[in-house]
Amino acid sequence: MTIHKSGLKALLAATAMGVVVAASAAASAQTLKVVMHSDLKIIDPIWTTAYIVRNHGYLIYDTLFSMDEKLEVKPQMVDKWDVSADKLIYTFTLRDGLEWHDGTPVTTADIIPSIRRWGAKDSMGQKLMSFTKDIKAVDAKTFQLILNEPYGLVLMSLGKPSSNVPFMMPKRVAEGDPNTQLSEPIGSGPFIFKRDEWKPGEKVVYLKNPKYKPRTEAASGLSGGKVVKLDRVEWIAMADLQTAVNAISAGEIDMIEVPPHDLLPVLAKDRNVKLFSANPLGNQYTFRFNTLQKPFDDPKVRQAVTYAFNQKDFLDAVIGDAKWYKECKAMFVCGSPLESTKGWEDRLSSNYNKARQLLAEAKYDGTPIVLMQSTDLQVLTNLAPVAKSHLERAGFKVDMQSMDWQTLVARRTKKDPATAGGWHAFLTSWVSADILNPVMAGFFNSACDKAMFGWPCDEQIEKLRDQFSRETDPAKQKALAEATQVRASEYPTHIHLGQWYAPVAMRANIDGMLAAPVPTFWNITKK
């Protein structure tokens, strides 16, 4: 009986020890719980330009090149590269030890269709492909991009930081139709997508990729060594940001990617939470014209708007705290290599007299401006009433129509007259990393029917964009970017309304987040 009792005690003790060990192992597993700006629904970062899918892409895929914090393009999957003297043949060699998540090696047979799939969808990719004669494998690790004529944006395109990012995928995935969503989310990136734990509307789970071989350089922006210091990242779907703020205060989550600006003071007061401005370039508010519709078909009327607006009023109405915004007239973003105010020095100062004078010269007949206001996105809602006020003070008649963002997104593709379901103008926001040069910035595309909604049609802008894309000398590229910006003051395609920043909120025990235009999850530690 005594033996039985001691045996039972030993068994209980062993069981208890086992439970403790298992519990402490689970506790020591570093899990970062994050509320992102949106739930992940689509998993193909080439099929859509949605930022949440781009962010997902950065976790599980890798890129040939990446942009560092100084906005310089650096090799990522590529070990070494060179370009021929005539600038027509780029030769790239992959790093050693690159593997897909299933353990098979990354080879040029995967890379080439990945570039082609991206090149079929992305606007910069399409431009690169239009200059490309061939992409051919030299061996399993080396391939060549052969151009028809010199193109100045080869590395910038392959190191493009934002949507659509040229992520590399296995051959069997990359060879799929670019217009059909991929179904196998497998990459060679620092995290592995845990598909069986993905519950749309609830959570997305990523595990550390134990086989990932980071570069030896220190992490910088999106480049350098992607050293993962967490075991697991969970994106928790939370539709209500007030709830997210409550949850981070209670310690139920570790991070909110984009906390609302009106709740930043609440978070700033919480000793357990800190705010980190992770994206130094921030975002840019933009007013977009529909150049097909009267009176905005007349550049002079559009110029009048550039004189009527001022950035501060827009930024105050939405962001509020000047700590989180910057007035910036540079169309290629303040803080970027192409920053310049040329052509816009006297604009955006609410010079209503000048605006009225231009309207009189253009013989504006009082046609009401149909201004679309999106009411469901907090970062946009207050922009349209400010625009309406400035336009009216300049002498415009304005018909501001309120709708949800998805209705606006659908309506902005319509070329119909404003009185028949079309539109004259709307306001949106760009991630600055998407508008760093005249080719990348979609609203500069002035190729008439082929341009983005708004359909500007200007030979001069197109010529300048084309020259920019062919130019390989950075100094000349800057001059061409300035010329494009000056031309955009004469033939306005859109107006920038100020740069704004959205800090990441994180618990005080989280460190190591990198300053980059996209939220990164490598280098982060949780104490």
| Interaction between residue 28 and other proteins (CB under 8 A) | no
> Which of 102, 149, 202, 297 contacts other proteins by CB under 8 A?
202
Residue 19, interface with other proteins (CB under 8 A)?
no
Residues 446 to 475 in contact with other proteins, rule: CB under 8 A: 450, 452-453
From 67, 238, 308, 328, residue interacting with other proteins (rule: CB under 8 A)? 238
Within residues 412-431, the interface with other proteins by CB under 8 A covers 413, 428
66 scored as a contact of other proteins (CB under 8 A) = no
CB of 465 to other proteins, least distance (A): 15
Q: Does 49 bind other proteins (CB under 8 A)?
A: yes
Q: How far apart are CA 189 and CA 60, in angstroms?
A: 4
DSSP 40: -
237 binds other proteins (CB under 8 A): yes
Does position 362 interact with other proteins (CB under 8 A)? The reply is no
Q: Which of 181, 367, 402, 460 binds other proteins (CB under 8 A)?
A: 181
Greatest Cα-to-Cα distance within the chain, rounded to the nearest angstrom = 108
Residue 404's SS3 state is coil
The backbone torsions φ and ψ at residue 80, rounded to the nearest 5 degrees and listed phi first, read -145, 155
Our finding on whether 442 is near other proteins (CB under 8 A) is yes
Inter-axis angle of helices 299-308 and 474-490, nearest 10: 100
Minimum CB distance to other proteins, residue 512 (Å): 26
Give bridge partners of residue 496 from the DSSP assignment: 286
- CA gap 321, 479 in Å, rounded: 34
Considering only the stretches 87-95, 248-256, 316-324, 482-490, report the one whose residues sit in contact with other proteins under the rule CB under 8 A. 248-256
Residue with tokens 């991070």: 255
Q: Choose one: 37-45, 322-330, 470-478, 485-493; the region binding other proteins (CB under 8 A).
A: 37-45
Helices (H), 170-277: 171-174, 241-249, 264-269
User: Between 189 and 454, whose beta carbon lies closer to other proteins?
Assistant: 454
**Which residue from 262, 198, 233 is spatially nearest to 510, judged by alpha carbons?**
233
Both structure tokens of 13: 């003790």
Least distance between other proteins and beta carbon 499 (Å):
18
The tokens 């205060």 sit on which residue? Answer: 249
Q: Judging by beta carbons within 10 Å of its beta carbon (0-12, 13-18, 19+), is residue 167 exposed, middle or buried?
A: buried
| 406 binding other proteins? (CB under 8 A) | yes
74/117 with CB nearer other proteins: 117
Q: Does 239 bind other proteins (CB under 8 A)?
A: yes
80 binds other proteins (CB under 8 A): no
Q: Check residue 416 and give left, alpha or beta (phi > 0: left; psi -120 to 50: alpha).
A: beta
Between residue 118 and residue 157, which ones bind other proteins under the rule CB under 8 A? Answer: 121, 123
Tell me how far CA of residue 493 lies from CA of 300, 331, 380, in angstroms. Answer: 12, 11, 20
For residue 33, give the H/E element and its range.
Answer: strand 31-35
| 209 forms part of the interface with other proteins (CB under 8 A) | no
Decide if 286 contacts 427 (C-beta within 8 A). yes
Q: Should residue 43 be labelled a site residue for other proteins when binding is judged by CB under 8 A?
A: yes
> Stretches 179-187, 279-287, 330-338, 486-494: which one binds other proteins (CB under 8 A)?
179-187
Separation between Cα atoms, residue 27 and residue 19, nearest integer Å: 12
CB nearer other proteins, residue 133 or residue 195: 195
Pairing of strands 398-403, 255-256: unpaired
Nearer to other proteins, 77 or 205 (CB): 205
164: tokens are 């659509």
Q: Tell me the pairing of strands 283-289 and 325-326.
A: unpaired
For other proteins, the binding residue among 26, 250, 420, 475 (CB under 8 A) is 250
Rounded to an integer, what distance in angstroms lies between the CA atom of residue 95 and that of residue 105? 11
Residue 179 interacts with other proteins (CB under 8 A): yes or no: yes
Position 381 contacts other proteins (CB under 8 A): no
Chain residues that interact with other proteins, rule: CB under 8 A: 39, 41-43, 47-51, 53, 121, 123, 163-164, 179-181, 183, 199-202, 236-240, 242-243, 246-247, 249-250, 252, 376, 403-404, 406-407, 409-411, 413, 428, 434, 442, 450, 452-453
